[in-house]
Structure 1
Amino acid sequence: MRGPAIQVRGLEKSYKTLRVLRGVDFEVARGSIFALLGSNGAGKTTVVKILSTLLKADAGTASVNGFDITTQASDVRESFSLTGQFAAVDEILSGRENLVLVAELRCLEDPGAIADDLLERFSLTEAAARRVSTYSGGMRRRLDIAMSLVGTPPVIFLDEPTTGLDPEARIEVWHTVRQLAGQGTTVLLTTQHLDEAEQLADRIAILHEGRIIVDGTLAELKRLLPPAEVEYVEKQPTLEEVFLAVVGADGDIRTTATPARTSEER
Structure 2
Amino acid sequence: MHLANSWNSYETLEYQYWAVEFPVWPTAAALLVWQDVVLTAGERYEVLRVDEVEAFGYSRLRDGSFAEFIRAHPQRTEPVNDGIPVGFALDRIDGEYAGIHTSTLLCFAGADGRLTKDWMNRMTDVGPRAGLSEYYDNTPFSITADSEAYPGSTHSAWAQFTVTTDIFFPWVQPGVDHPLRRYGLLDNTFLARLNGSRLNGFLREVRRAAVEIGGVWKPATTAYDRTASLNLDEDGFVLVGEA
Q: TM over 0.5, yes or no?
A: no
TM-score (norm 1): 0.26
TM-score (norm 2): 0.27
Q: Which has the higher contact order (CA 8 A, sep 6+)?
A: 2
